Amino acid sequence: MAASVMRGYEGWDVDIERPTGLEEALGALAAQPGATLLAGGTDLMVEVNYHARLPRRVIAVRRVEELKQWEGRRLGAGVTFGRIEHGPIRALAQLARTVGSPQIRAAATIGGNLGTASPAGDSHPFLAACDAHIELQSRRGIRTLRWDEFLVGVKQTSRADDELITAVMLPEAMPHRQEFAKIGVRSAMVIATVSACVMVDDEGQARVALGAVGPTVHLGCKKSSPGVITRRDRRSRAPSAGRPCKRTPSGTPPCW
Ligand SMILES: Cc1cc2nc3c(=O)[nH]c(=O)nc-3n(C[C@H](O)[C@H](O)[C@H](O)COP(=O)(O)OP(=O)(O)OC[C@H]3O[C@@H](n4cnc5c(N)ncnc54)[C@H](O)[C@@H]3O)c2cc1C
């Protein structure tokens, strides 16, 4: 495994390990639980640039081939939005096209979007609308959590220190009728003010998941909370619009 020590900002030295396989990555994480994972770096490096996070130990997983695999309903954590936007799943491709710019999408991964767990993460309403699961692996084994068991708060997940997000598991049958939409202050390169993903199954049952409407609405919610509404309960559970995620105040990184 390639490893190096990088001298960055004054007083910031970082040990970087660059595993090329999943076993190697899990071994590195088991040896140093709590090390910071680096995938495309489009969130992490922004935090580093703002000195909001200066990790001492980084495990860069971009070379881990197993994470880049996308087979049927199993979408590897290292699959980039640049690939997803050309994929076969309508709403997933739609949301991928709204992520940053082509340059960002070439690097940004779905695993990183989940790892950051921002209320405005654009993949989250889609994952909620189709009731996706998140696969986590460590040397201790594999566990699979439903999206709302994984995303538990603003920038909080239930990932353990020695676990790697390895894949997103989509349902066996995806509803054919599905749409994603995002509203922001401009039409491109924008943090969602609100995003929505709607899926309608063959029985006409609609699931609507909203993103970025509040700090915890869809991130922390259980199936019965206001983040996901179905046609049956829409009158009793109309989502209340909360405050959107804060914009970039000077000196702090943007909150995607
Ligand atoms: C200019 C710009 C525009 C952007 N536009 C959007 C946008 O429109 N919509 C949107 O949702 N986001 C946007 N983002 C944010 C970012 O691109 C996404 O959140 C992206 O998906 C992060 O993926 P990454 O691979 O770059 O993650 P990284 O930056 O590498 O990592 C992000 C976090 O996830 C953790 N992590 C990464 N991989 C794993 C893993 N396999 N297991 C466990 N933890 C992991 C890291 O430790 C880190 O905490 C934008 C960012 C920038 C800089």
- How far away, in angstroms, is 38 Cα from ligand 1 center? 9
Decide the pairing of beta strands 156-157 and 151-153.
Answer: antiparallel
Q: Strands of 79-227 (E only): list them.
A: 133-138, 141-146, 151-153, 156-157, 164-169, 177-183, 194-200, 206-211
- Taking the model in full, what pTM does it have? 0.87
256 lines ligand 1 (CB under 6 A): yes
106 lines ligand 1 (CB under 6 A): no
Report domain extents, the chain.
Answer: 1-248
Give the distance, in angstroms, between the CA of residue 111 and the centroid of all CA atoms in the same chain: 5
Asked if 197 contacts 180 with a C-beta cutoff of 8 angstroms, the reply is yes
Q: Measured in Å, how far apart are the chain's first and last C-alpha atoms?
A: 32
DSSP 167: E
List the structure tokens of 194: 């609100």
List the structure tokens of 212: 């970025």
* CA angle in degrees (0–180, nearest 5) for 224-155-35: 130
39 lines ligand 1 (CB under 6 A): yes
Q: What is the pLDDT of residues 13-59, one digit of tens each?
A: 999 999 999 999 999 999 999 999 999 999 999 999 988 999 999 99
Atom 18, ligand 1: residue with shortest CA distance: 113
List the chain pLDDT tens, one digit each, 256 residues. 777 776 666 678 999 999 999 999 999 999 999 999 999 999 999 999 988 999 999 999 999 999 999 999 999 999 999 999 999 999 999 999 999 999 999 999 999 999 999 999 999 999 999 999 999 999 999 999 999 999 999 999 999 999 999 999 999 999 999 999 999 888 788 888 899 999 998 888 888 999 998 654 454 333 444 455 444 444 444 344 334 334 444 444 444 4
Fold classified for 1-248: 3.30.465
Atom 19, ligand 1: residue with shortest CA distance: 113
